Structure 1
């Protein structure tokens, strides 16, 4: 089985695979896995546990962003039907999620969780957005793509200044910062 994504949550390691499933492996247990999730229609390419370890977001080549919540009052799936999901990241400062996408738009989308309303669409890469990381302060994301560029985006507010003012900018050059708030 080919593994397409990995995500840690305390002693639980989640893996997404080409067979469309997500396996939860408890590293303290002897079993191969302790639970299995299904629902994607194609390979699972992105997995990310939230910072509080209460939600697991998954994305796949079926163009869907799904999430599992350990809170019984929030269960859901959001279908984004245009482009394959390459990567996911949760904000540690606000209830928002970032997804990166491939052909043909090569874009980054910021979602409000749990409503999954689209807050911003970031463009600028000319090829599939394959890599995504969040800065230690939780405000900036960096994306890398097949166009051999890194782009820095100031996406999330600081924990102290959670302003709702939004600006939408397009990253024009490599190593440039773009702000959406």
Structure 2
């Protein structure tokens, strides 16, 4: 039994090696558990306790080509994706996604989709502007 979260656990994801388990919850916390630490008689079972999110952490994803890289996504109150080095517990980067939907891919791209844009009625009332198709989509490579 792993003990660490004080509220509901929202996500569990094993690393590719099966050595580390990431857990996230409604307590705004991400824990990194390591099999060797959890099976010892240590008073603290987790390897890292990551507390930089400001709302429930709903999403976890391990990098498929770098074993110690984890991406975590906060809920609507947080609106960030954070990237962690799970060997050190350091937050490597934090991206504010605003009200956008985000996706990450194996080609190392992170895309933000502005699917909650201005309603059609508001567009008709606004002055016309020239925009390229998909100009509202940001890419981070």
The TM-score bracket by the shorter chain reads 0.5 to 0.7
SS of 1:71's partner is helix
Q: Greater helix share, 1 or 2? A: 2
Structure 1 residue aligned with 2:95, among 117, 122, 125?
A: 122
Structure 2 residue aligned with 1:173, among 129, 136, 140?
A: 136
The equivalent residue for 1:77 is 49
Between the aligned partners of 2:11 and 2:112, the Cα distance in structure 1 is: 14
**Which structure 2 segments of 5+ residues have no match?**
41-45, 117-134
Between the aligned partners of 1:136 and 1:66, the Cα distance in structure 2 is: 24
Q: How many residues align?
A: 115
Q: Greater strand share, 1 or 2? A: 1
CA 66–143 in structure 1, closer or farther in 2 if over 3 Å, else same: farther
SS of 1:57's partner is strand
SS of 2:36's partner is coil
Between the aligned partners of 1:120 and 1:81, the Cα distance in structure 2 is: 12
Query: What do the CA deviations read for 1:81-117 (whole angstroms, capped 9, x no partner)?
Result: 5221011111122221110012333111111112221
The equivalent residue for 1:51 is 16
After TM superposition, give the deviation of residue 140 of structure 1 in Å: 3.5
CA 141–51 in structure 1, closer or farther in 2 if over 3 Å, else same: farther
TM-score (norm 1): 0.53
What's the C-alpha RMSD, in Å, of the aligned pairs?
2.9
Contact 2:73–2:80 at 8 Å: present in 1 too? yes
Higher relative contact order (CA 8 A, sep 6+): 2
**Which structure 1 segments of 5+ residues have no match?**
1-35, 150-171
CA 54–142 in structure 1, closer or farther in 2 if over 3 Å, else same: farther
TM-score (norm 2): 0.65
CA 104–68 in structure 1, closer or farther in 2 if over 3 Å, else same: same
Structure showing greater radius of gyration is: 2
